[in-house]
Amino acid sequence: MCLNSQSSLAEDTQIKPCDFDYLKIIGKGSFGKVLLARHKETTKYYAVKVLQKKIILKKKEQKHIMAERSVLMKNIKHPFLVGLHYSFQTTDKLYFVLDYVNGGELFYHLQRERIFLEPRARFYAAEIASALGYLHSLHIVYRDLKPENILLDSQGHIVLTDFGLCKEGLEPNGTTTTFCGTPEYLAPEVLQKQAYDRTVDWWCLGSVLYEMLYGLPPFYSRNTAEMYNNILHKAPVLKPNVSNAGRDLLEGLLQKDRTKRLGGKDDFLELKCHSFFSPINWEDLMAKKITPPFVPSVSGPTDLRHFDPEFTHLPVSSSLCTDTLTVTSSVKEAAGAFPGFSYGDEGQILS
C-alpha cells in the first residue's frame, strides 16, 4: 500500500514518537531500523525509519543524513520515488515517516524468480529511468541504484527508496569524486577514483537491467578483486536470449567511457528514445496507466509476506517512545547536531 503524501496530520505541529504504534521491524541498516507503524489518531500506516544519532556522529555521516532529508523533501511529486510525510527528532534519535510500501524489494522477487522476461524488465527499467531522470532534473545524482533499493508497491509499481548517498547540486556538466556505491554496481570511473557525473546512474541502471534479464550483475564474481577487474576491463557478456534492442541498450548503458555512455549527452531523453523502450507510452507510464506485469499478492497493509522474516521476527523495542537519557556531553552534542531536521507534510515545519 503506497500512501499519498497529503495528510490531516500536518495540522499537528507537535508530532512525536508516541503518536505512532510500532508494529513490526521491516528493515535494518547501519544507522537504525525501519518499522511498520500506524498513526494512532488517523490509523494510517507508514514506514518509519529510526536512526541513532550516536552512530551517525561516530561514523561522521551527518551530511549524508541531512542530504537524504533534503532530497526526500524535493521528491514528493514523483510517482516512483518514496515520499516523506514528516521528520522529527528526539535527543538521541532521528525519525523519517515515509510512504509504506509492502510489495517487497525487487531483489526479493528476482531471487525467487531468477530472471524476469523482457517485457517485465522493460517496465521496471522504464519506471526507474523516469525516477532517475526526474532526480537529475533537480540536479541530484542518486549514486546507489541496486535491487535492494527498488521496492514494489502493492499494485506492482516501482518505488525508489534510500537517498542516503545522493549528491545534490550537480549541474548537467558537473562532476564529483566521492567514492561511494555498492561493489557489484560501481561504474569504472568511480572505481578508478576519477571525477564522475550523473551518468553513473545510467551505468547502475544498465547493471540492474542486466541482472533482471540474466540473473546476475554483469561483472559479478565472488572474488571482489576479480569483479573490479571485470568492471574495468571486460566487456559484458550479452547472451542471445535478450532482444537486439535489449542488448544494444545494455551496451550503451554499460559503456566504460562515461562520455560515450547512453545518457551522456541528453540524459533521460536518450533512454526514452531508445528502441528497447518503443513499446512504452511514457505519459501513460507516469500516470500509472500501464498495468504492471506482476502484482504482488498482499491482503492488506499488515501483510508482511514480502519482507524478510529475519527482520519481521525481531522484537520491537519499547524505547522508540522514550527519551529518558542521562544528559552527558556526547548526548548534548547529538541533540544539537541536526538543526532544522523536523518537517511536516504540506510544507509545515514541526517544532
- How many Cα atoms sit within 13 Å of 338 on the Cβ side? 32
The DSSP bridge pattern shows strands 93-98 and 20-28 to be: unpaired
Could you give the C-alpha distances from 68 to 36, 37, 39, 82, 164, in angstroms and in order?
A: 20, 21, 23, 12, 5
User: Which residue's C-alpha cell is 571482489?
Assistant: 224
Residue whose C-alpha is closest to residue 62's, from 340, 341, 343, 338:
338
C-alpha 281/C-alpha 285 separation (Å) is 6
Query: CB neighbours of 332 closer than 8 A, spacing ≥ 6?
Result: none
Bridge partners, residue 87, by sequence: 96, 343
Ordered DSSP codes for 294-307: -----SSTT--TTS
CB burial of residue 1 (10 Å; 0-12, 13-18, 19+): middle
Query: CB neighbours of 326 closer than 8 A, spacing ≥ 6?
Result: none
Among 12, 19, 99, 144, the one annotated catalytic: 144
92 is catalytic: no
C-alpha 272/C-alpha 73 separation (Å) is 26
C-alpha 302/C-alpha 297 separation (Å) is 12
Where helices occur in the chain by DSSP H, the ranges are 53-58, 62-74, 106-113, 118-137, 188-191, 199-214, 224-233, 244-253, 268-272, 282-286, 309-312, 329-335
Bridge partners, residue 217, by sequence: none
Residue whose C-alpha is closest to residue 142's, from 188, 73, 198:
198
Flag whether 28 is marked binding: no
Buried b (16+ CB within 10 A) or exposed e, 97-107: bbbbbbbbbbb
Q: Residue 135: in which H helix or E strand, if any?
A: helix 118-137
Can you say which residues are annotated as belonging to the binding site?
Answer: 58
Can you say which residues are annotated as belonging to the binding site for ATP?
Answer: 58
Active site residues: 144
